Amino acid sequence: MKTGYIAVVGLPNAGKSTLVNALIGEKVSIVTSKPQTTRKRTLGILTQPSEYQMIFVDTPGVTDSREGLNPYLRRELDLAIDEVDVILAVVAPWEWKKKEKPWAVELVETLQEKKPVVYAATQISRVPREARVPMLDQWKQWVGEEKELNFTSALEGHGLLELKDKLKALLSEGPAFFSEDIYTPQTMRDIAAEVIREKCFEQLHQEVPYGLAVTINTFEEKPRILNISADIVIEKDSHKGMVIGKGGEKLKRIGTEARLELEKQFGHKIFLELHAVVRSGWTRKNQWLVDLGYTHA
Ligand SMILES: Nc1nc2c(ncn2[C@@H]2O[C@H](COP(=O)(O)OP(=O)(O)OP(=O)(O)O)[C@@H](O)[C@H]2O)c(=O)[nH]1
Ligand SMILES: [Mg+2]
């Protein structure tokens, strides 16, 4: 069997998580229109029995900022790169309009330990067809003739089979790491926290999502119902009202959307209780970062 770990790297919002979900055919990583949605390296497994097992490691899109969770996100990316066999470097559609090399190309070129790389231009459906030939010319100037660029559109399902073939060719022979029927090692508890955070990101704006985390307090599986109680942790008093909304409407909507999605995913009826909790400036306080799982000891 061909097996291996593949890190998906690229700018915030490039479409890394959408691509991982599309390659696997299951939702393993949350997706929103806000940058820096992914915070932890997230595994998604694609197995073709007796043929291959690809373990995708979705990574956070990082920036150079030293503020808030940025140093933690950068470390998550570095750890992911260290632990994989292959890198899938993605170029976001807006990077084609710039003069400089795409971010993921720069990243790959600066790595000390060289690893095989597959390159993909993501969200290609957003780029007009006539712009693709000039893109390939620019690509050759950036990286040379020999490195191939794959056009992909995860939501529209374009270029995925070809991408899988390219990745498969770079894997090594060996036994599978995970059993065939597992598509993510995340627990139901982890998934619940992430889906709630996704709904918060979708419903909240400005700086609120970047100082928002979700912790699960109760996760109780009864025969007829799954009881979940979670805290939506925010870093400013002034954000509490935004999370709760007029007459509690916002919190209710976040709860309903998260519950409906989790009921579908888990195939179980769910009672979901959410609380908005302020932890003043938690993104700057080590103890809170530890408690919320955002540090590397
Ligand atoms: N039309 C279209 N939209 C896409 C595609 N891929 C991603 N998007 C959209 O782009 C936005 C960002 O997608 P994500 O998958 O969350 O991007 P990401 O690279 O994981 O971002 P971070 O986790 O923040 O680093 C979302 O609104 C997606 O719906 C695509 O193939 N086609
Ligand atoms: Mg992501």
pLDDT tens digit sequence for 237-288:
999 999 999 999 999 999 999 999 999 999 999 999 999 999 999 999 999 9
3-state secondary structure at position 23: helix
3-state secondary structure at position 24: helix
* Cα 8 to ligand 1 centre (Å): 13
Query: Which of 187-224 are b and which e, b meaning 16 or more Cβ less than 10 Å from the residue's Cβ?
Result: ebeebbbbbbbbbbbbbbeeebbbbbbbbbeeeeeeee
Q: For the chain, which ranges sit under pLDDT 70?
A: 297
Candidate of 11, 13, 16, 107 to mutate for ligand 1, largest count of ligand atoms within 8 Å of Cβ: 13
Q: Where are the alpha helices (DSSP H) in the chain?
A: 16-24, 70-83, 103-110, 132-143, 160-169, 188-203, 237-244, 249-266, 286-291
Q: CA of 262: how far to CAs of 191, 195, 230, 292, in Å? A: 8, 7, 13, 21
Q: Which amino acid is at 234?
A: I
Atom from ligand 1 closest to the CA of residue 30:
16
Does ligand 1 have an atom closer than 6 angstroms to the CB of 79? Answer: no
Does ligand 1 have an atom closer than 6 angstroms to the CB of 37? Answer: yes
pLDDT of residue 166: 98
* Phi (first) and psi of residue 25, to 5 degrees: 85, 15
Cβ–Cβ under 8 Å, residues 122 and 90: yes
pLDDT of residue 87: 98
Q: What 8-state DSSP symbol labels residue 64?
A: S
pLDDT of residue 296: 83
